[in-house]
Structures are given as C-alpha cells and as structure tokens.
Amino acid sequence: MASLYQTALDELAGTFRKLNDADVDHALDMIAKAGKVVTFGCGRERLQVMGFAMRLFHMGLPVAVVGDMTTPPVGKGDLFLASVGPGDLSTAQALLDVARRAGATTLVITAQPDGLASSFADFVLTIPAQTMADDHGDKTSSVLPMGSNYEGALFILFEVMVLKLREKLSINPEFMRSNHTNLE
C-alpha cells in the first residue's frame, strides 16, 4: 500500500513541475485587484474552492461561494473564479456568462484549457492534471480515480496561492487567525 501513496504523491509533484507559475501569479494579481471575489466549483472541486474562499476570508478579502445564501451580485471590478477541471460544465458556463455580462472579470481554473468554459474566461489558469474528461482508456494518466488528481492539485495550488497572496498583500498569520471563527 505504501507504494500507492508514493505514486499518488509523485503524480501530484509531476503536475506542479508542469504548472506555469507565471500564470499562477497573474491569477493572484486578479484576486488582489478585485473588489470582491465570487467562487464556483461543482462536486469535489467545489469543496476545494470553498476551502480557498475560506482562506481568502481569513485574509480579510471580500469573498463568497456561489450557492451560499449570502452570495452578492458581481459586477465591474469584481472577479468570478470558476474551477472547471474537465473544461466543459454547463452550470459553470452559464454562470461565467452571467458574470461576464454583469461586467465582472472571469478566471477559469481547468485541466482542459481547450474546453468550452475557457471561451468565457478573461484568463485561464491550467492545472495539467487528470480529470474525469481523461480518466479512461488510453487517456488515463493517474493512479487516482476519476478527477482526484486534479482535485488534489487544486488543494495544493490554493494553499500555495494563499502563501503567495499573503506575502503580496503583507498579511500576517496572526491577522488571518483573528478572522477564524470562534464558533467551533
């Protein structure tokens, strides 16, 4: 069993060796400049996006997750960030279109930059990882099932983005901790 853990970790490491860090930095600039950030993801991607939104909140940034009752409208000066790993999800495309028509800037994070969702984006951040779009037959590249490689990469990416954004915005860990809920 230990070899399965190592194989999964090696695959994630390979994903990050291929990641364009300049694109990550551009996405961070978009977040830093946004009036507010509204995030979206489906399924297990949503769980990763929610964790990222929580960390943005801890940094004191105005952020919301689509589907929460407190999600504000987006418009000019705002950023709509959508994780669309397989590149083509009708819900994501509909929301990206709404955000774009409202004047918000759109950022798509995906493993499939040629997918339809990217056509709705002002910027596309590509994570070169297996998703459900390529988890079968000759396309399979990961020991992890379905989109787990992408979802695991999202977790690591978002945590590193938090570290970079914290430095960029001069936010210290104590400030972040002060924004953590006390209702646990």
Residue 59 belongs to a domain with what CATH number?
Answer: 3.40.50.10490
Residue range(s) defining the domain that contains residue 153 = 2-170
Q: What is the mean pLDDT of residues 99-127?
A: 97
Q: How far from 181 is each of 11, 55, 68, CA to CA, in Å? A: 34, 12, 17
In the three-class reduction of DSSP (H, G, I as helix; E, B as strand; rest coil), residue 22 is classed as helix
pLDDT score, position 114: 95
* 123, β-bridge pairs: 107
User: Is the model's pLDDT at 107 over the cut of 60?
Assistant: yes
Residues 133 and 125 sit within 8 Å (Cβ to Cβ): no
Question: pLDDT tens digits, residue range 75-89?
Answer: 999 999 999 988 999
Residues 27 and 162 sit within 8 Å (Cβ to Cβ): no
Q: Is residue 8 part of a domain?
A: yes
Of 134, 123, 52, 153, the C-alpha closest to 86 is 134
Element (H, E) at 10: helix 2-18
| pTM for this prediction | 0.92
Question: pLDDT tens digits, residue range 29-45?
Answer: 999 999 999 999 998 88
Whole-number percent of the chain with pLDDT over 90:
72
What is the domain count for the chain? 1
Question: pLDDT tens digits, residue range 2-58?
Answer: 698 888 888 888 899 999 999 999 999 999 999 999 999 998 889 999 999 999 999
Q: Where are the alpha helices (DSSP H) in 34-178?
A: 43-58, 90-101, 148-168, 173-178
Q: Is residue 182 part of a domain?
A: no
